[in-house]
Structure formats: C-alpha cells, structure tokens
Amino acid sequence: MRRARHPIVVIGSGVAGMAAALAAAPAPVRLLCRAPDGSGSASALAQGGIAAALGEGDGAAAHAHDTLEAGARHNDAAAVRWLCEAAPATVSWLAAQGVAFDRAADGRLQLGREGGHGARRIVHAGGDATGAALVRALRARVEAASHVQWRGGVDAEALLLRDGRVAGVRVRDTRGRCEEIEAAAVVLATGGIGALYAHTSNPPGADGAGLALALAAGAAPRDLEFVQFHPTALAVNGHGLPLLTEALRGAGARLLDAAGAPLMHGLHPLGDLAPRDVVARRVWQARQQGGAWLDATPVAGDWQVRFPTVLAACLAHGLDPRREPLPITPVAHFHMGGVATDLDGRSSLPGLHAVGEAACNGVHGANRLASNSLLEAVAGGRRLGAVLAATARLPAGGTGRWIERGAALPPENLPALRELLWHAAGPVREGAALHDAWRMCAAAAGAGWQMRLAKALLCAMRLRTRSLGGHCREDRGCPA
C-alpha cells in the first residue's frame, strides 16, 4: 500500500479526536480545533468517570445489560458488546498515557456507582474532574507525538468532494483567512449539540457545527431525536450551567420535591439512581410544580478530594452543598444521535469519518448509560485511528467541488433559537409544539446553518411519534 502523502485531518480537540490522532501513528495527522489553545471541549467538563466492569463479580455482560436497558434496547447490540468488552483495556491504556485514576490505599482502583448501573464500575480521576484529567494527559501525548501537527483557532467550514469522496477541508481562522487542506481522510470529532439549547451543561463550541457540515455534504444522520438531559444541574442564571454529578447520588445524595419529600419515590426500582431520562423528566415536572432539590448533605468524606468541581461551582454561587439542599434543573447534556457511522467510524460518505459525540454508531441507543461517553470516545477514537493508519490512501486526482456549511446565524438571534428548542424539544415534547417549531426553523432556514440543523433535529423528533428513551412525547391529540 502506498503511504498517504496528505494527512489525516481530525477536527476536534476532545478526547475522541486526540485518541484518534494518537492511534493513527505513524500516518501524518493534522489536528484542528476552534479554540486557539485547544480548550473548550465538552470532554474537559465531564465530571463523570469511565464505566468499566473491573469489580469482583462484575463483567462485560452485566455492563452490556445495563447499557441496553438504559438505551431502551434501541442500541446496536454488537456495538454495545464491543464497547463493554473494550472497557478494561481502555482504562489500562489511559493509565499508561499518564491518567492518574483515583485509587484506594492498597493501590486498587476506586469504583463508584451512577444511575442505571447495577454495580460499582465507575473509574474516576481527580474525583469529579475525570474529563479534565483525560484531556491533560492526552494533550501532553499529542504535543509530544511527532506525527501530529496541532492547530487551534480555526473553524472547518467546507468539505472538498472529489469523485464522490471527501478529499479535503477548508478552514477559516479568527482573522478570516482561509486555508484549503487536502486530506487522506477527514474525521469529525466536533462534539454534540447541547449549546443549541437555552439550558445546557455544554460549552459554547458544542453547537453541532460538525454535524451540520456533514449533513450539508450529504452524509446520513442517525437517531437525531435522542437528546439526553442531565437531571441535576445547579439552577442558577446563565447558559452553561454547572453540573451536579450523578456520583453524588451514588454517594448518598437524595432528590427532593418542593415540600422536601423524596422526588423519585415509587417511580422506578433504582429510585434516585434511575436512568437519566427517567430522572430528568421527573425533575422537569417538579420544577413546574414548585421546584426540585438535591440534598447532598448526607455525602461523607472530604469534598475537596471527592467532589472538588461541584464544591467550587456551588461556592461560587453562594451555596454550600455540605450544609444545604441545592436547587436543580435538567439541562441538555448529550446527543445520542449524530453522523451515522459503523464501528470503524465510517460515514455513508466515503472519506468522511466521525467519532465521539458527533457520531452515532448505535452504542448508546435511545439514552446513554452514565459514564459510557468518555469510554466510547477513547475506545472509538483508538479504533478509528488504527483503521485509518492501515487504510488511508492517496486521494483521487482530478477536480473537485467545495460543499459549504454556510453562514452562521447572527449571534443576536441565537438566544431565540435556544429558547425555541428548550421549550419544544426539551425533556418532554408535544406534537403541536414540535410542528410549530419545525415550521419556524424551516421558514428561517436561510438565516444560518444552526436553523437548518435545528430543522433536521425537529423533523426527526416529529417523525418519532411514540416515546422511547430520552425522546418523550406527551401529545394532546394534536398533529405531529
């Protein structure tokens, strides 16, 4: 096989993109991201850990069972099997990259429990700062890798199609200067869509830009209607709201209604540790009825060690989780849908790949199991990088054409779109509201790519008329 003269271009600086870039060695890689310093990925904000069946009496089959149950059995069973079997080796690989996982005095990994899991199998690093720990370790490895060229401060705005195959990308920097990069393959590792919602745990860059670019080029989407809402964000003013990690409930915190009564009593066998879609809907309903609270005062241990991120966020808003219940709200958190791919990250468009939250290979089904996202991002990135290292070839010659994502919505118009999606496409959805929102986005589709992406999301939500997982329909006899 001839060595590719052009690089593999990876767009996105989260753990999925970095894992793919590292695993693609020795093939040349251009790693591109919007932030000048590579910051701002959702990976760095992840408080949850990595799910892996490492405890006594646990196993990949049990992990897979919980993943399928959380996903409402809408998952691709083969993808679930692969992910759960790959989990222990993924944790070992991360440790070898320098991730300092939390360990007990005897050196064994500390294992926590989160919603939807039937066993303690969540590995953390730095308490509730696992994502940041992964980003630091992988960033150091990428910077030291001779085959990776990192460039920040650029936005991918167009794909080059040549003979029906993606053969390059055009990027624009913060000064408006463009650069065309021919590529042996293009990988979208651009994250999810949470920033399109009024209330979200996501950073501003998680706005679906990579998904919008793929759709404009003709790549097939999958499961766009399935959005996971984290049930416990701190209910304070702002767009990106601080998360109160699910591990708090695993450590003894309890959900309460406005009267101080247990919020989840009698609603699910797992109670406060029910799957996220179940808890998020209950919190959503409670907020319509007076409010919802997380009482973390029973949580034992040193908060500076166990939950430093949560503690700092709460104290910054004048709240102390060690002494008082916290007001909570659900927030847009994770997109189970995305660019349709196989397990090797291949999209329906030759030469275009996707990995992490930007992709959908069916592993999460209709609702992601807690702490499977960092796991999938790393395991999927490593698998994709290895495939590309072995298969990337010289791109076809000849002329091509550029497919544009299109101009962005004016910044002053984004808040209205976010409110529209929050109310029509939130944890509980109603047919007439979805229809009206879709019509508004369709009418304004020329105003910016965010409107066209919102239209595609709303169309998928309208077409699935029955509730499943994170997609909850409570119609009132109105047309979808």
| Cβ atoms within 10 Å, residue 262 | 14
Specify whether 276 is catalytic.
Answer: yes
pLDDT at 7: 95
Model confidence at 449: pLDDT above 90: yes
* 433-457 average pLDDT score: 97
| Cβ atoms within 10 Å, residue 60 | 18
Give DSSP secondary structure letters for 130-194. HHHHHHHHHHHHHHH-TTEEEE-SEEEEEEEEETTEEEEEEEEETTS-EEEEE-SEEEE----SG
Q: pLDDT digit string (tens) for 89-121? A: 999 999 999 999 999 999 999 998 887 899 999
pLDDT at 278: 87
pLDDT at 480: 41
Examine domains 8-226+336-403 and 229-333 and report if their fold is the same.
no
The helix or strand, by DSSP H or E, that contains position 338, with its residue range, turns out to be strand 338-340
pLDDT at 3: 47
Single out the catalytic residue among 34, 81, 276, 462. Answer: 276
Q: What are the counts of helices (DSSP H) followed by strands (DSSP E) for the chain?
A: 13, 19
pLDDT at 431: 95
pLDDT at 370: 87
Q: pLDDT digit string (tens) for 217-261? A: 999 999 999 999 999 999 988 777 888 988 899 889 999 999 999
Q: Where does the pLDDT of residue 131 fall: very low under 50, low under 70, confident under 90, or very high at 90 and above?
A: confident
Residue predicted with more confidence, 361 or 131: 361
* 53-60 average pLDDT score: 95
Q: pLDDT digit string (tens) for 413-434? A: 999 999 999 999 999 999 999 9
Cβ(6)–Cβ(183) below 8 Å:
yes
- Note the Cα 164 to chain centre separation in Å: 29
Cβ(29)–Cβ(49) below 8 Å:
no
pLDDT at 478: 41
Domain ranges in the chain are: 8-226+336-403, 229-333, 409-463
Q: pLDDT digit string (tens) for 360-371? A: 999 999 999 989
Please state, in angstroms and rounded to a whole number, the distance separating the CA atoms of residues 242 and 254.
Answer: 18
pLDDT at 26: 95
Pairing label, strands 227-234, 254-257? unpaired
Chain mean pLDDT for the chain: 92
Q: What percent of the chain has pLDDT over 90?
A: 80
Q: Which of 4-13, 313-322, 420-429, 471-480 has the lowest mean pLDDT?
A: 471-480
pLDDT at 408: 96
CATH annotation of 8-226+336-403: 3.50.50.60
Q: Where does the pLDDT of residue 395 fall: very low under 50, low under 70, confident under 90, or very high at 90 and above?
A: low
Q: pLDDT digit string (tens) for 6-55? A: 999 999 989 999 999 999 999 999 999 998 776 666 666 666 799 999 99
pLDDT at 46: 65
The residues, ordered by sequence, that sit 6+ positions from 284 with a Cβ below 8 Å of its Cβ are 229, 330, 426, 427, 428
Cβ(384)–Cβ(8) below 8 Å:
no
pLDDT at 475: 81
* 329-347 average pLDDT score: 96
pTM equals 0.92
Kindly tell me the sign of the dihedral angle through the C-alpha atoms of 113, 114, 119, 125.
negative
Cβ(23)–Cβ(385) below 8 Å:
yes
Model confidence at 479: pLDDT above 60: no
Q: Where does the pLDDT of residue 1 fall: very low under 50, low under 70, confident under 90, or very high at 90 and above?
A: very low
Q: Which top CATH class is 229-333?
A: alpha beta
| Cβ atoms within 10 Å, residue 103 | 12
Please state, in angstroms and rounded to a whole number, the distance separating the CA atoms of residues 384 and 141.
Answer: 18
222-255 core/surface letters (b: 16 or more CB in 10 A; e: else) = bbbbbbbbbbbbbbbeebbbbbbbbbbbbbebbb
Residue predicted with more confidence, 8 or 478: 8
Pairing label, strands 401-404, 338-340? unpaired
pLDDT at 411: 94
Quickly tell me which residue has 């892996």 as its tokens. 52
